[in-house]
Amino acid sequence: MNYYSEAFREAFNLIITLDRELLNVVATSLRLSTSSTIIASTIAVPMAVIIARKDFSAKKFFNVILNTLLSLPTVVVGIFVYSLISRRGILGEYQLLFSSTGIIMGQTILILPLITALVRNTIFSLDEKLYKTAKSLGATKKQQFKLLIMEARYGIIGAVIAGFGRVLGEIGISMMLGGNIRGVTRTMTTAMALETNKGRFSFALALGIILLILSFTINFLVYFLQEGEHYEQR
Amino acid sequence: MNRGNKILKVENIDKNINNKQILQIRKYSVIKGKFNFIIGANGSGKTSLLNILSMIDNDYQGTIYYKGKIISKKERNCELRRRFSVIWQEPYLYRGNVYHNIALPLKLRGFNKKIIHKKVKNISQKIEIDDLLEQSVYTLSGGERQKVSIARALVTEPEILFVDEATTNLDEESINFFNSHFADLVTEEMTVVMVSHDRRQIKELADRIAYLKKGKILSSQAREEFDFSQLGAGICSSIEEIV
Amino acid sequence: MKKRYFALFFILIIFLVLTGSAAAQDRLILATTTSTENSGLLDELIPPFEEIFEVRVDVVSVGTGQAISLGANGDADIIFVHAREAEDEFIEAGYGVNRRDVMYNDFVILGPPNDPVGISELESAVEAFSAIANAEAEFISRGDDSGTNKKELSIWVEAGVDLTESWYIEGGQGMGASITMADEREAYIFADRGTFLAYSGEIDLEVLNSGDPVLFNPYGIIPVNPAYHSHVNYPMAMAFVGFVTSQAGQNIINNFSSYGEQLFYPDAISSENLVD
Q: What is residue C3's predicted lDDT score, i.e. its pLDDT?
A: 64
Query: CA C64 to CA C195: how far, in whole Å?
Result: 16
Give yes or no for C2 touching A (CB within 8 A): no
Q: What is residue B233's predicted lDDT score, i.e. its pLDDT?
A: 55
Q: Residue A136: which H helix or E strand, with range?
A: helix A129-136
Rg (CA), chain B: 18
**Phi-psi category of residue A104: left, alpha or beta, with phi > 0 → left and psi -120 to 50 → alpha:** alpha
Look at residues B4, B12, B48, B56 and name the one whose alpha carbon lies nearest to residue B30: B4
Look at residues A78, A58, A74, A75 and name the one whose alpha carbon lies nearest to residue A66: A58
Whether B90 and A129 lie within 8 Å, measured CB to CB: yes
pLDDT digits (tens, 9 = 90+) for B191-235: 999 998 788 888 888 999 999 999 999 888 888 888 777 776 555
> pLDDT category, A145, cuts 50, 70, 90?
very high
Q: Is A77 exposed, middle or buried (0-12, 13-18, 19+ CB in 10 A)?
A: buried
CA angle, A178 as apex, A74 and A215 as ends, to 5°? 55
With a cut of 80, say whether residue C129 has pLDDT above it.
Answer: yes
pLDDT digits (tens, 9 = 90+) for A154-169: 889 999 999 999 999 9
Residues 28-67 of B with CB under 8 A from A: 51, 54, 56
Q: Residue A72: which H helix or E strand, with range?
A: none
Q: C74 in helix, strand or coil? A: coil
pLDDT digits (tens, 9 = 90+) for A68-108: 898 888 999 999 999 999 988 888 888 889 999 999 999 99
With a cut of 70, say whether residue C94 has pLDDT above it.
Answer: yes
Percent of all residues in chain C with a pLDDT value above 90, rounded to a whole number: 63
Q: Do chains A and C touch (3 or more CB pairs under 8 A)?
A: yes
Mean pLDDT, all residues of chain A: 89
Q: What is residue A60's predicted lDDT score, i.e. its pLDDT?
A: 87
Query: CA C161 to CA C145: how far, in whole Å?
Result: 18
Find the closest chain A residue to B88 by CA distance: A133
* pLDDT mean by block of 10 residues, chain B; 243 residues: 74 91 93 93 90 93 93 88 94 93 95 95 93 92 93 95 89 87 87 88 89 89 81 53 46
Mean pLDDT of the region C7-27: 64
Residues 154-193 of C with CB under 8 A from A: 174-177
Query: CA B25 to CA C111: how far, in whole Å?
Result: 94
Query: CA C72 to CA B240: how far, in whole Å?
Result: 96
Give yes or no for A20 touching B (CB within 8 A): no
Query: CA A110 to CA A164: how far, in whole Å?
Result: 11
**What secondary structure letter does DSSP report for C215?**
G
Q: What amino acid occupies position A137? A: L
Q: What is residue A133's predicted lDDT score, i.e. its pLDDT?
A: 94
CB-CB neighbours of C221 under 10 Å: 24
**Phi-psi category of residue C156: left, alpha or beta, with phi > 0 → left and psi -120 to 50 → alpha:** alpha
pLDDT digits (tens, 9 = 90+) for C133-156: 999 999 999 988 777 888 999 999
Find the closest chain A residue to C71 by CA distance: A87
Chain centroid offset of residue C64 CA: 7
- Which residues does C2 contact at the CB level (< 8 Å), separation at least 6? none
Q: What amino acid occupies position B76? A: R
Residues 148-167 of A with CB under 8 A from B: 150-151, 153
pLDDT digits (tens, 9 = 90+) for C156-185: 999 999 888 889 999 888 888 899 899 989
pLDDT digits (tens, 9 = 90+) for A102-144: 999 999 999 999 999 999 999 998 988 999 999 999 999 999 9
CA distance A72 to chain B (A): 35
Chain centroid offset of residue B9 CA: 16
Q: Is B138 exposed, middle or buried (0-12, 13-18, 19+ CB in 10 A)?
A: middle
- CATH homologous superfamily for the domain C25-104+217-273: Periplasmic binding protein-like II (3.40.190.10)
pLDDT: which is higher, B59 or C20:
B59
Structural domains in chain A plus CATH codes: 28-198 (1.10.3720.10)
Residues of chain C with CATH 3.40.190.10: 25-104+217-273, 105-215
For the beta sheet containing B61-66, the strands, ordered from the edge strand earlier in sequence to the opposite edge, are: B20-31, B6-17, B61-66, B69-70
Query: CA A152 to CA A141: how far, in whole Å?
Result: 17
Phi, psi dihedrals of residue C114, rounded to the nearest 5°: -75, -10
Look at residues B16, B25, B17 and name the one whose alpha carbon lies nearest to residue B212: B25
CA distance A84 to chain C (A): 12
With a cut of 70, say whether residue A233 has pLDDT above it.
Answer: no
Q: What is residue C16's predicted lDDT score, i.e. its pLDDT?
A: 61
Look at residues C216, C192, C204, C202 and name the one whose alpha carbon lies nearest to residue C109: C192
Q: Name every chain A residue with its beta carbon within 8 A of the beta carbon of C12.
A: 38
CATH of domain C105-215: 3.40.190.10
CB-CB neighbours of B4 under 10 Å: 9
